[in-house]
Amino acid sequence: MKEYLKHHEWQIIEEGFDAHYNKISESIFSIGNGRMGQRANFEEEYSGDTLQGSYVAGVYYPDKTRVGWWKNGYPEYFAKVLNAPSWIGIHISIDSHKLDLAKCNVVNFVRTLDMKTGLLTRKFSAVLPDGKQVNVEAKRFCSMANGEVGAIRYALTPVNFSAKAVISIAVDADVVNKDSNYDEKFWEEVYRKAEDHQAIVVAQTKKTKFHVATGMRYAILQDGKEASKRINYEERDKYAGNIVQIDLNQGKEIVVYKYGAILSSENHAKDKLVANCQDVLNKAVEKGFERLFEDHAAVWKHKWDECDITIEGDIAAQQGIRFNIFQLTQTYTGEDERLNIGPKGFTGEKYGGSTYWDTEAYCLPFYLGTAEQQVAKNLLIYRHKHLQRAIENAGKLGFKNGAALYPMVTMNGEECHNEWEITFEEIHRNGAIAYAIYDYIRYTGDESYLSSHGLDVLVGISRFWAQRVNFSKDKNKYVMLGVTGPNEYENNVNNNWYTNYIARWTLNYTLESLANVKAGNVKDYSRIVGNLSLKDDETALWKKIADNMYLPEDKTRGVILQQDGFLDKDIMPVSQLAKEDRPLNQKWSWDRILRSCFIKQADVLQGLYFFEDDFDTDTIKRNFDFYEPMTVHESSLSPCVHVILASKLGYEEKAYEMYLRTSRLDLDDYNNDTEDGCHITSMAGTWLSVIKGFGGMRVKEDTLHFTPFIPKKWKSYSFRIEFRGRVIKVKVSNQRIETTLVSGDPFNIKINNEPVSLSHNKTFEKVLA
């Protein structure tokens, strides 16, 4: 755990430059706009330890799978989020000495991310090896108003000298991915051209042939006027730019304005990319840095009006939740149903593919509660569009008759994760896809989605479950063998309770949904059943399996068993581990981890969170008390589930502890892995921790319920929720809860199970016991 960032309600602030933390900061200070993103790499050259990263949404490379022993069913490739051509470079040499913070004496270094406006600022003084000192202030943003534009204002002042400087301003597509399986470069040049104050490079990805045009225009000003300079053009393979020779005068600031345009063939015809890139650059330069920033900041204001959470009395908690919301918002805007939410977003290349089950289990509720309904619906449509690929994925593993296995990792619907215990065994992901359909309909009331999209997916997943189980004569039950549950510190286990339970639930929900559609619209039902060739004997088998699914439990302790044989382990709490043993995945052998009782993330508790209405409070409490002490939370997805359950059980201190862990996971580098990128999808869990945890929000029988409490350190907290065409503001303090209907028709909610009527712009107050 590292605590080197200053606490602030709206800003992330790093004071002083420590090269050991540089890659962590590159992740944390990343910026994006839904179309593209950029790690907080320096504009100037940096020869120290760095992970260069510029990313374009939807652009990937299928890196050939690299394993020691090939098994039938393995994906042929592992999708890679590509480090895209760099647009930010402003390289400076002064009297032959490069401005390189790894080789300079750096003082007064301050890096700030203003989350309110999405502006990254860096200030520092650097003393070069020959004693020359420069002051630098760099500002950068990726425009939320135009997803293809980025802008930089780079100001440099010579403090104690006058000299000649050379500034290289370019586009560089000769970039690498750190995680390349075969040390391969993934970009090929299509076009390059350097001109006066401008350069454009078009590069294409190998194999997938995505084209990306990256262009830049710049101006260099001194005293508000275009500075006198000499310009030479520079072109080489996958690189184009200008080399500018300029006189620096002591105490006189020069300002480089650099505008980037990043266009993809996903959104433009390939033969129009250069012309369209030029057009985007022209319009950006015409607006200028300040007006571009004003438009960008205005979008951020609107976004924060929609989804901000305020916490009074705890700056660390406030900073944490806003950082998580900020990263989520700049990663996925919901405007393009072809896109999804990658685990690292625009902050790093680890985890390869763009979509995991995290989207359905954690992110969907965030977008349901903070954006218009279509945004969340687009996440479901994304999976519906990949249904045929899910059927093909299942077919590769020997499943038939339209059985669908959604991928663990994907860019295009095809499985591209190449660890066998994940690809073949972590099949609970299928249940999360089904649960998301239920969650969306429960929240929005949009029953029509079942007929238009949902049942196609539910039937495919149910067919998979029906073929994946087998009947055990010994147990006289249906069982599921050789799986990995959410706790990835267990592999190839039999009867993971969560997997069995969500499979049974999916079968029942599919049957219930079929019955509801049949009752509401026989014509739709007949069309769906006909298209899917669904027969009565098939649905009868589903019911038989659901009614006879084996669910392991220990009746003596009164707890659910994570899987068969779990109690054969040496049961002990995490508190007995030595500090030097953590994190386990970096300190222990995999063999030792698999034999231990320690739990990477919520497993049984994940099921109790999803299906809490199926269990009484005593059952949830017994299982929480049993499993929580063994959980090491070495998955970013784990703490939020524990916040929600701890809040329900009245374990307020545990809920607050886990909230800080989930909200500050990356800011404080809890798991020693933030340098690889931020944990974007789990950030939705921080929002869930406040809304469903502390706020106790649930949807039951088409009604919003709140059972709130407030952590002792907080004076108040407030949030805004969108629900079925209405906007509700909720504020909780030590004494009361206030609810206001900001917009939409009057309706009823429940607070601590008591009905409350809300009407427009009237605040209802209820005293909390």
Q: What is the tens place of the pLDDT at every residue in 533-589?
A: 999 999 999 999 999 999 999 999 999 999 999 999 999 999 999 999 999 999 999
Tokens of 541: 């088998």
Residue 13 makes CB contacts below 8 A (sequence gap 6+) with 5, 6, 110, 111, 112
Give the angle 283-285-289 at the CA atoms, nearest 5°.
115
Helices (H) and strands (E) in the chain, counts: 21, 34
Helix, strand and coil content of the chain, in percent to the nearest 5, comes to: 35, 25, 35
> Is 80 exceeded by the pLDDT of residue 351?
no
CA nearest neighbour of 206 among 225, 180, 178, 224: 180
Amino acid at 548: N
| Average pLDDT for 165-183 | 91
Which residue has 């104050």 as its token pair?
197
> Could you tell me if 359 and 416 are in contact, meaning their C-beta atoms sit under 8 angstroms apart?
no
- CA pair distance 654, 633, nearest whole angstrom: 13
What type of residue is 414?
E
Alpha helices in 262-360 (DSSP H): 273-307, 315-331, 358
| 71, pLDDT greater than 80 | no
The mean pLDDT value for 691-712 works out to: 97
Range in 79-83, 516-520, 714-718 the model is least confident about: 79-83
Give 216's strand partners: 199, 260
Contacts of the segment 510-519: beta carbons below 8 A, 24+ positions apart? 510/434, 510/455, 510/458, 510/459, 510/461, 510/462, 510/542, 511/539, 511/542, 511/543, 511/546, 513/450, 513/454, 513/455, 513/458, 514/455, 514/539, 516/447, 516/450, 517/450, 517/451, 517/455
What's the rounded Cα separation, in Å, for the pair 16 and 129?
A: 19
**198 phi and psi angles, rounded to 5 deg:** -160, 155
Q: Phi and psi of 676, rounded to 5°?
A: -80, -10
Residue 432: name the closest of 356, 376, 487 by CA: 356
Does residue 139 have a pLDDT over 90?
yes
Above 90 in pLDDT, residue 107?
yes
Whether pTM > 0.85 for this model: the answer is yes
- Which of the residues are catalytic? 488
657-683 average pLDDT score: 93
For 484, list phi and psi in degrees, rounded to 5. -120, 125
User: What pLDDT, on a 0 to 100 scale, did the predictor assign at position 166?
Assistant: 97
- Measured in residues, the chain has a length of 769
- Chain-centroid distance of CA 674 in Å reads 13
| Pairing of β 477-479 and β 470-472 | antiparallel
Tokens matching residue 592: 């030792």
Q: Is the pLDDT of residue 406 over 80?
A: yes
SS3 label, residue 650 = coil
What percentage of residues in the chain have a pLDDT greater than 70?
99
